[in-house]
Structure formats: C-alpha cells, structure tokens
Chain A
Amino acid sequence: AQKITQTQPGMFVQEKEAVTLDCTYDTSDPSYGLFWYKQPSSGEMIFLIYQGSYDQQNATEGRYSLNFQKARKSANLVISASQLGDSAMYFCAMREGVQTGANNLFFGTGTRLTVIP
C-alpha cells in the first residue's frame, strides 16, 4: 500500500481564493510526522509546514495551514489568499518513528497547482 496518496494530479485556483490540496497517509506507527513541500518550476524543494501525530492543534505557517484529521488519516494543505507565485508542484510527505529520531521521508506523487490571475 502507498504510504502517501495525493489524488489530485492538478488543481486550479483563482488568485486571492483559498485552495485545499488533499493528502492521505497510511501507517501503523503511532508516532509520525507529516510535511508539505513546494517545488516551483525552478526545481528546488521548499519546506512549508509540519504536523506531528501527537500535536493537538492543526499547524499553521502564514498563509499555509494543515487540516489534520487523524481518524481519517488525512493531512490536507490549505493555502489561503492564493498568489501567482504559489503556482508549483506540492508534495505531501511522511516520516515514521518520530520519537526515535531521524528517518527517511515517504513522498506522494504531488499535485500541480496553477493560480489563475
């Protein structure tokens, strides 16, 4: 089974509107972390936001927020007030074994977001 599933290959959003990018995950580890990264056309991977499995509140970073629904195993990224510069690929990723320290990330296949002026 895929550890991270992103079901939206592409999404469009009007500038200044909000958009939700979906991510579901699969793990039996009680301690895990969820990450979102942005990959613009220039190719670099930019860290956006992190949610720990034991965090009581949804993570927020500026215009980014993470809608964490543990029972559904979903960690959707919400971008508010979209800007043209938000056009990029967005990847959801998971790290298991958070309590034990460093581990590799499992990535989804990504969602390409296009912001329309």
Chain B
Amino acid sequence: NAGVMQNPRHLVRRRGQEARLRCSPMKGHSHVYWYRQLPEEGLKFMVYLQKENIIDESGMPKERFSAEFPKEGPSILRIQQVVRGDSAAYFCASSTGLAGSNTQYFGPGTRLTVL
C-alpha cells in the first residue's frame, strides 16, 4: 500500500506568487488534514477535509490560504500572494475517519521557501 503522497517535496516561490501543495491520501482513507511546521516547532493544525467538504478550518489563516479535496484527485492547499512568513514545512495526513484511534498517517511534507 502506498502511503500518503505529497508533492512537490520542495517548493521555492518569490513573494507575491502562489504556492500550490498537493496531497494524495492513503488508499482507503477519506479524511485529510493539513498541518504547518515552523523550524524547531511542533506541527500546528490548519484544516481538516473530507471529499468535497471542509470540516474544520479553524487553524487556517482567513486570508490567502484555501484548501480543497475534490471528488476526484488530490487535496490541494493553496497559498496566494506568499510572504516570507509562509516559509515552513507543510504536512498532510490522512485517516479512515472512524471513531477510535483514527490514527493519522503523514506524508513526507512539502518544504516551502519564500524568497
């Protein structure tokens, strides 16, 4: 079974450009989560999605950030007009969504650098 896939692994953008990060969940998983990790810090929750629905976006900045998980294809985290403070590692995780442990399995992350 393939794990959670993220691409690109590294992304460099200039200030003002758009960053688009992709995440394909593990086979059989219908729940996707995005987290951000600043250097030397733990992961911070951004958004939780199911197919075609945003369930919880309480951790996502209100401006410039958006996420989607379409019926077909990967989940996308989009950052418009990036600024230097957006430089971070962005992790996607997926789970079955079932009650109980509902363990989230993480992808390798996308390291975004804003010049």
Query: How far does the alpha carbon of A104 sit from the alpha carbon of B111 in the complex, in Å?
Result: 21
Closest to B31 in A: A102
Interface: A81 (CB within 8 A):
no
Binds B, one of A14-22, A42-50, A63-71, A72-80: A42-50
Q: Are A110 and B31 touching (Cβ within 8 A)?
A: no
B44 to chain A, nearest CB (A): 7
Given B89, B97, B106, B109, which contacts A47 in the complex, CB threshold below 8 Å? B106
A102 and B48 contacting across the interface, CB-CB below 8 Å: yes
Decide: B105 and A47 in contact? CB cutoff 8 A: yes
CB distance from A52 to the nearest CB of B (A): 7
Most buried by B among A37, A99, A103: A103
Find out whether the CB atom of B102 lies under 8 angstroms from the CB atom of A98: yes
Q: A101, B45: Cβ atoms under 8 Å? A: no
Are A104's CB and B106's CB within 8 A? Answer: no
Q: Knowing A37-B106, A44-B108, A98-B100 touch, does A104 contact B48 (C-beta < 8 A)? A: yes
Check: B54 CB closer than 8 A to any chain A CB.
Answer: no
Candidates A43, A91, A101, A110; contact of B89 at CB < 8 Å:
A43
Question: What is the CB-to-nearest-CB distance from B50 to chain A, in angstroms, rounded to a whole number?
Answer: 8
Residues of B near A50 (CB, < 8 A) are 101, 103
Q: A99 contacts which chain B residues (CB < 8 A)?
A: 99
Which one, A35, A105, A108, A109, contacts B45 given CB within 8 A? A105
Residues of chain B from 43 to 68 with CB closer than 8 A to chain A in the complex: 43-45, 48, 55-56, 59
Determine if A44 and B45 form an interchain contact, defined as CB atoms under 8 angstroms apart.
Answer: no
B61 to chain A, nearest CB (A): 16
Interfacial residues, chain B to chain A (CB-CB below 8 A): 31, 33, 35, 41-45, 48, 55-56, 59, 89, 91, 93, 95, 97-109, 111
| Residue ranges of A at the interface with B (Cβ–Cβ < 8 Å) | 4, 33, 35, 37, 43-47, 50, 52, 91, 93, 95, 98-110
User: Closest 8 A-B residue pairs measured CB to CB?
Assistant: A107-B42, A45-B106, A104-B45, A102-B97, A107-B43, A44-B108, A50-B101, A101-B99
